[in-house]
Amino acid sequence: METQETAYLRRVQGQVKWFDPTKGFGFVIAELGGPDILLHANVLRNFGQGSVVDGSRIDLMVQDTQRGLQAVEVISITPPHADAGLPLRDMSDFTPEDIAKRAIEPARVKWFDKAKGFGFANVFGSSDDVFIHIEVLRRSGLSDLQSGEAIGLRLVDGERGRMAIDVVGWEAAAK
């Protein structure tokens, strides 16, 4: 009998079909076709993210199980390319290179409402709120944030205060 430890693992590239952090899972469509691949929230958390935006390119290690193909490790995630510029005027002057040069600051999500399209976090050591827009979250490859979740933020000072220009999972920020 084949166990998880002895099951044949293979590397697959694909695209996130959908992922629901509330349900704790989603599915990936393999680049070379075949059945959908189950992506469990724990596998995603081991990569350092609590969610992933639909349409993201994803590189995985998968295995065949009695219930079908399942991801066992996320190797990399690339968010989908956006057609338009950044959604907020305060961010329009920043290129991807400018954003990447900014320091990642450790933060904790205060609250995020996907339906409203925004939320707030606090950088560790500060009680000031940092605004997080849903489009910035999507461009960062995430689909949702949970209250209390540890994240890393690249920030800008906007007209109405500090705002996130990039959001990364805590484990990714720690690397």
Spelled out in words, what is the top-level CATH class assigned to the domain 9-78?
mainly beta
Please state which architecture CATH assigns to domain 89-174. Answer: Beta Barrel (2.40)
User: pLDDT value at position 160?
Assistant: 77
> Residue 133's Cα: distance from chain center in Å?
14
**Average pLDDT, consecutive stretches of 10 residues, N- to C-terminus, the chain (175 residues):** 64 94 92 93 89 91 92 91 55 74 92 91 92 88 89 87 88 65
* Cα separation, 103 vs 3, whole angstroms: 43
Cα 138 to Cα 55, 86, 87, 107, distances in angstroms: 10, 11, 11, 18
- Tell me, what DSSP letter sits at residue 47? H
User: pLDDT value at position 7?
Assistant: 65
- 11 contacts 27 by C-beta, under 8 angstroms: no
User: pLDDT value at position 1?
Assistant: 43
pTM of the model: 0.67
* Cα separation, 86 vs 93, whole angstroms: 9
Query: Do the domains 89-174 and 9-78 match in fold?
Result: yes
The mean pLDDT value of the chain amounts to: 85
Cα 116 to Cα 25, 40, 91, 119, 138, distances in angstroms: 23, 26, 20, 8, 14
User: pLDDT value at position 97?
Assistant: 81
User: pLDDT value at position 89?
Assistant: 60
Residue ranges per domain, the chain?
9-78, 89-174
- 53 contacts 39 by C-beta, under 8 angstroms: no
Phi, psi at residue 10, to the nearest 5°? -140, 155
* Cα separation, 125 vs 108, whole angstroms: 10
* Cα separation, 151 vs 24, whole angstroms: 18
- Tell me, what DSSP letter sits at residue 9? E
